[in-house]
């Protein structure tokens, strides 16, 4: 199994560490050559893609400049499992890649509460620690989307088929269960 981590900008190294810790092979995607190599060196049904946190506007621009936008959209629409965290959640929404039927509210917690940690129930997993950094929440979700967690009444995690998103940063705690759920999706066990 191999996970491609979008490494254009942002918090990609921490995801790599967590996936390595779970014994998973990873590769960084910085340009179209990396992506083409990933597709040719991995098997369908044995691979997934991860969108980290960072700055969604910058990531969107670089994806377009590097010619990654269309091939990655096609792969996700073709059922490649994807985990999007924070800015990665924003990238998948209706206003960006438009592959997931959600609308993200960016920088949703205001300046005072820009960054905070909490612990809440995550459907199917239990209570998980959640680190928010200038995070979004999900303000609209279509009928195919299952909301998996709330903080203060706002949706902060969701799944739609092969797409799993969290507004928080699971890679910044030592709780590996969100990544494990994603790896189960890659193995089609979840």
Which residues bind to ligand GLN, rule: CB under 6 A?
53-56, 86-87, 90, 106-107, 133-135
Angle, helix 177-186 to helix 12-21, in steps of 10 degrees: 80
Write down the catalytic residue from 171, 179, 180, 189: 171
- Nearer to ligand GLN by C-beta: 82 or 133? 133
Q: At which residue do the structure tokens 């981590």 appear?
A: 5
Contacts of 70 (CB under 8 A, 6+ apart): none
- Nearer to ligand GLN by C-beta: 47 or 100? 100
Write down the catalytic residue from 14, 15, 16, 169: 169
Q: Could you tell me the CA-to-CA distances from 153 to 14, 88, 124, 157 in Å, in that order?
A: 28, 21, 18, 12
- Nearer to ligand GLN by C-beta: 11 or 125? 11
Q: At which residue do the structure tokens 């996936």 appear?
A: 19
Q: Establish whether 121 is a catalytic residue.
A: no
Q: Residue 64 is encoded by which pair of tokens?
A: 């377009």
- Nearer to ligand GLN by C-beta: 33 or 115? 115
Q: Establish whether 73 is a catalytic residue.
A: no
Q: Establish whether 96 is a catalytic residue.
A: no
Q: Quote the least distance from Cβ 58 to ligand GLN, whole Å.
A: 8
- Nearer to ligand GLN by C-beta: 56 or 162? 56
Write down the catalytic residue from 14, 15, 16, 86: 86
- Sign of the alpha-carbon torsion through 70, 134, 158, 17: positive
Q: Quote the least distance from Cβ 55 to ligand GLN, whole Å.
A: 5
- DSSP at 23: T
Q: How many CA atoms lie within 13 A of 183 on its CB side?
A: 18
The rounded distance, in Å, linking the Cα atoms of 17 and 34 is 19
The rounded distance, in Å, linking the Cα atoms of 103 and 84 is 14
Residue pair 164/82 in contact by the 8 Å Cβ criterion: yes
Q: Quote the least distance from Cβ 163 to ligand GLN, whole Å.
A: 17
Q: Which residues are catalytic?
A: 86, 169, 171
């Amino acid at each position: 199994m191999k996970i491609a981590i979008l490494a254009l900008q942002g918090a990609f190294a921490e995801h790599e560490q967590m996936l390595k810790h779970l014994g998973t092979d990873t590769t960084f995607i910085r340009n179209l050559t990396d992506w083409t190599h990933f597709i040719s060196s991995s098997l369908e049904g044995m691979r997934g893609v991860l969108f980290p946190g960072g700055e969604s506007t910058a990531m969107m621009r670089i994806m377009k400049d590097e010619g990654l936008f269309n091939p990655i959209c096609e792969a996700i629409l073709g059922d490649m499992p994807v985990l999007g965290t924070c800015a990665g959640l924003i990238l998948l929404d209706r206003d960006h890649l438009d592959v997931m039927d959600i609308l993200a509210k960016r920088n949703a917690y205001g300046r005072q509460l820009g960054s905070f940690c909490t612990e809440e129930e995550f459907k199917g997993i239990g209570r998980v620690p959640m680190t928010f950094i200038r995070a979004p929440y999900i303000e609209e979700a279509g009928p195919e989307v299952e909301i998996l967690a709330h903080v203060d009444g706002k949706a902060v995690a969701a799944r739609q088929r092969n797409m799993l998103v969290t507004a928080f940063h699971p890679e910044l705690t030592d709780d590996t269960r969100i990544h494990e759920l994603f790896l189960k999706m890659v193995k089609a066990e979840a």
